[in-house]
């Protein structure tokens, strides 16, 4: 295994707490707002995946779904502020283990985010959280939203690696299942509070993933002990 590809929303960053914190000045229900905004994430991408619209970067989908969410909550917000809110996703805080975990993983493999977020969103998250990547991969670079196979395959090809030389790291069983089906190695890092205290999904591994780690520091330890 020569490269680790990381899911970002949920796996590396606590988007729910960070979005709620930034929305708090604008609504009395910031956590519910974050959940409602995020609930429109997969349907927005599905329009692209299904071929019903050409590829657009995630910022555009976030802006559209923000408008819908604001209407649902009965909030009236100026267009400039709506763009500012869209960029809240560029300023999400990492889970506390991520910075140290990435530093420990860097000597063991090439590291790249492979997220549905656009390139500048990843650049801003890296600066915000002091991450160092070898490259930014992901949907905007590959032209496909995960879990489309082309997304994973093009990411590996850009790194001049076969899928078996790459491992996907994610807190979501579905992301890993899509990667494994193409020959990628798989690392599951559960994030049981991604969706808040009532989370009911992705609490445990749903397949025999190659590595199951409690966080990124544990992943670095397990990887150095066992290889992959």
- In angstroms, what is the minimal distance from the CB of 73 to a second copy? 27
Rounded Cα distance between 79 and 64, Å, is: 11
Rounded Cα distance between 169 and 180, Å, is: 11
Q: Are 101 and 13 in contact (CB under 8 A)?
A: no
Q: Where in 81-100 is the site for a second copy (CB under 8 A)? A: none
- In angstroms, what is the minimal distance from the CB of 134 to a second copy? 5
Report if residue 60 touches a second copy, rule: CB under 8 A. Answer: no
- In angstroms, what is the minimal distance from the CB of 228 to a second copy? 19
- In angstroms, what is the minimal distance from the CB of 120 to a second copy? 4
170 beta partners: 188
Total binding residues toward a second copy, as defined by CB under 8 A:
19
Q: Where in 112-141 is the site for a second copy (CB under 8 A)? A: 118-120, 122-123, 126-127, 132-136, 140-141
Q: Where in 137-166 is the site for a second copy (CB under 8 A)? A: 140-141, 158-160
Q: Name the site residues for a second copy (rule: CB under 8 A).
A: 59, 110, 118-120, 122-123, 126-127, 132-136, 140-141, 158-160
């Amino acid at each position: 295994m020569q490269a680790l590809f990381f899911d970002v929303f949920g796996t590396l960053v606590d988007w729910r707490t960070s979005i709620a914190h930034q929305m708090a000045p604008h609504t009395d229900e910031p956590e519910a707002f974050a959940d409602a905004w995020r609930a429109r994430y997969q349907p927005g991408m599905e329009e692209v995946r299904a071929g019903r619209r050409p590829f657009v970067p995630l910022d555009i989908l976030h802006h559209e779904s923000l408008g819908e969410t604001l209407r649902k909550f009965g909030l009236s917000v100026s267009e400039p502020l709506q763009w500012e809110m869209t960029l809240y996703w560029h300023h999400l805080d990492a889970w506390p283990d991520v910075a140290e975990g990435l530093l420990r993983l860097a000597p063991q493999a090439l590291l790249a985010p492979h997220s549905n977020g656009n390139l500048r969103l990843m650049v801003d998250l890296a600066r915000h959280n002091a991450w160092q990547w070898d490259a930014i991969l992901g949907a905007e670079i590959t032209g496909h939203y995960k879990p489309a196979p082309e997304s994973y395959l093009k990411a590996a090809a850009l790194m001049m690696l076969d899928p078996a030389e790459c491992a996907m790291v994610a807190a979501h069983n579905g992301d890993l299942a899509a990667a494994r089906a193409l020959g990628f190695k798989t690392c599951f890092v559960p994030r049981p509070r991604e969706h808040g205290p009532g989370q009911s999904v992705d609490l445990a591994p749903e397949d025999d993933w190659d590595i199951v780690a409690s966080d990124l520091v544990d992943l670095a330890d397990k990887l150095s002990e066992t290889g992959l």
